[in-house]
Structure 1
Amino acid sequence: MKNYLLALTALVAVASVSSEEAWCRCGLFVSSPNAEIMVYELPEVDVTSCDNHNQCKNRCIKEFNEMTNDMDLWSTVDGGDTIGQYICQNLYHNFLIFIHNSYVHAYYEMCGGPWEYAGLDSQQMLCCNVGQHEHCISR
């Protein structure tokens, strides 16, 4: 019985410590008829609590705008590649060969909860062909 109480106490202590750690993830997704597909995950942002969704959302929005030049897929970054090229290369390395005429949507996830729409979409549609970012052709 003593071992049982000791184990239960340890479990409660671990649960209370881990429940206090707050974190926030920021990701870019495209929609398909059957799923939302993460096309790129940005660096995690700091939050002070798992109760403040606006803090997570606002910090992700700031990160999306800074790292993607306001969701401009044709904006170039260090090295000369476009934001879209980084996304297309990431998709290709994860065995997603083609994406055509899809807007990229910004989402955030806080403390293991559901991904939530941050209210941002890419300025242009994304088109990837075997890992290469290409201009989209209207249907």
Structure 2
Amino acid sequence: MKVLALVLALAAIVSATPASRDRPNCACGMFVEMEDEVHKVFTLDPIDIDSCDAVNICKIHCANEFDRLTGGGDLNHETENGYKVGQEICLYMLNSNGIHNIFGATVYGYANLCDGPWMYDGQSTINKLCCYEGFYGPCQ
């Protein structure tokens, strides 16, 4: 988790833009940690907030978005397009990162307040992510 936190903090610094720092916002994402790599695998619905001090409001919003998308942290939960959450992530990893196979990864929910460092929102999947040549399946 320390590697994940460090990489997420660095990513927030690099990706922050001056214009986006002017208005309070709360971004949400799902990340997977694999060996020494961290990958953002899903962007969840953000919200505008009143203050960049609203850490708890941001974390709660992101945790709720994570639960909504995953049906309580379940990678087998069906999304609006009919795919399972796990399949969406496997396709994203294949198409965006060229990663064909993932074995036994946990997906974590994170919040990003006012383009600061990513903060763990307390949510993670109840089952492990396994991708086989871009297809989601049970971990063996």
TM-score clears 0.5:
yes
Deviations 1:41-96 (A, max 9, x none): 11222322111101110111111111110110011122321111111111111122
CA contact (8 A) 2:105 2:129 kept: yes
Q: 1:99 pairs with 97, 102, 108, which one? A: 102
Q: 1:123 pairs with 126, 130, 137, which one? A: 126
Root-mean-square deviation (CA, aligned residues, Å) is 1.7
Taking the aligned partners of 2:83 and 2:55, their CA distance within structure 1 comes to: 33
1:110 corresponds in structure 2 to: 113
Residue identity in the other structure for 2:132: N
Taking the aligned partners of 1:79 and 1:20, their CA distance within structure 2 comes to: 34
Deviations 1:21-43 (A, max 9, x none): 01111111111221322111112
CA contact (8 A) 1:31 1:102 kept: yes
Deviations 1:97-116 (A, max 9, x none): 21111111111111111111
2:13 corresponds in structure 1 to: none
Count of equivalent residues: 122
Residue identity in the other structure for 1:89: L
Identity, in percent, stands at: 33
Structure 1: tracts of 5 or more residues without a match: 1-14
Structure 2: tracts of 5 or more residues without a match: 1-17
Taking the aligned partners of 2:20 and 2:30, their CA distance within structure 1 comes to: 27
Taking the aligned partners of 2:110 and 2:136, their CA distance within structure 1 comes to: 22
Task: Map 1:23-62; keep pairs closer than 5 Å.
Answer: 23-62=25-64
Greater gyration radius: 1
Q: Where does structure 1 differ by over 3 angstroms across 4 or more consecutive aligned residues?
A: 17-20
